[in-house]
Amino acid sequence: MSRRITLATALRVLRQLRRDPRTLALVFLVPPMLITLFRYVFNGQSTTFDRVGGPMVGIFPFSTMFVVTSIAMLRERTTGTLERLMSMPLAKLDLLLGYGIAFAAVATAQASITSAVAFGLLGLDVQGAVWVVVLLAVANAVLGMSLGLFVSAFARSEFQAVQFMPAVVFPQILLCGLIVPRDRMEHVLHVVSYALPLTWAYDALAHAVRGGSNGIVVRDALIVVGLTAAALTLAATTLRRRTG
């Protein structure tokens, strides 16, 4: 792989995003909007807002980057640019890391804006350090992106790619512990939840927000990094130099 090509790819992906200000506006404004909505839906139940709001700051980037990347990669496949790149001296890792760097940058901005609104304006109360929440949000974004790159190989159209959001992301949100603590779930669901990437992402966030054990936060974060590497490896297998 080459640093030159990786960075050029990251720059190219960011340029494409810049040409689409509406998508950028949605990426940056929808999470703070939703978290504000959440705050007023739970008006008078500030403990619920404090429990769920913090982790939500870190979960938005996961779902946003999942859907944005799966469509971006699908476009690379359908417009033939992926085939062109695969016939050029570009390593698969250059492409994957290029995407990773670009979307991590976007996620950093997204998580910072959402945090500023949640912790600054809405008075979301967290015991832990805010920067840890932002850092975990970026890690989750890269995780979501990696899963998005992988599943894009199974979509033939943008309609299908969008449907992967409810199919892949929603079950993970239901089972990760955000809605119902995992130890109160049915046994089978509890067992399944261990296998889902978002479970570990949420667990890290929940501990970080509560100011809980640093050891657990680090362990969960490492699991998230490992799962990201696994998803990227799977994504790499879907990038074919030769096709039928």
Partner 1 sequence: MLGSMTAAIEIDHLEVIRGGRTILEELSLEVEAGSVTGLLGPSGSGKTTLMRAIVGVQIVKSGGVTVLGLPAGSPPLRARVGYVTQAPSVYLDLTVRENLAYFAQVLGAHSKRIDQALKIVGLSEFDRRVVRTLSGGELSRASLATALLGEPELLVLDEPTVGLDPLLRRDLWQTFRALAADGTTLLVSSHVMEEAERCDRLLLMRDGELLADETPSSLRERTGCERLDDAFLALVETR
For the chain, state the CA radius of gyration. 18
Residue 15 lies near partner 1 (rule: CB under 8 A): yes
**Piece of the chain touching partner 1 by CB under 8 A; list 1-9, 152-160, 195-203, 230-238:** 1-9
**Which of residues 14 and 189 has its CB atom nearest to partner 1 in the complex?**
14
The Cα–Cα gap between 153 and 70 comes to: 8
The Cα–Cα gap between 105 and 13 comes to: 11
**Least Å distance between CB 53 and partner 1?**
35
**Which of residues 7 and 104 has its CB atom nearest to partner 1 in the complex?**
7
The Cα–Cα gap between 42 and 48 comes to: 7
Q: What are phi and psi of 155, to 5 degrees?
A: -105, 135
Residue 9 lies near partner 1 (rule: CB under 8 A): yes
What are 87's two structure tokens?
């016939």
**Least Å distance between CB 237 and partner 1?**
15
The Cα–Cα gap between 165 and 70 comes to: 9
> How many residues line the site for partner 1 (CB under 8 A)?
25
Residue 215 lies near partner 1 (rule: CB under 8 A): no
Q: Binding pattern to partner 1, positions 51-90, x when CB under 8 A?
A: ----------------------------xxx-xxxxxxxx
The Cα–Cα gap between 122 and 125 comes to: 9
Residue 21 lies near partner 1 (rule: CB under 8 A): no
SS (H, E, C) 47-114: HHHHHHHHHHHHHHHHHHHHHHHHHHHHHHHHCCHHHHHHCCCCCHHHHHHHHHHHHHHHHHHHHHHH
**Which of residues 83 and 125 has its CB atom nearest to partner 1 in the complex?**
83
**Which of residues 11 and 37 has its CB atom nearest to partner 1 in the complex?**
11
Q: Which residues bind partner 1 (CB under 8 A)?
A: 4-5, 8-9, 11-12, 15-16, 19-20, 79-81, 83-90, 241-244
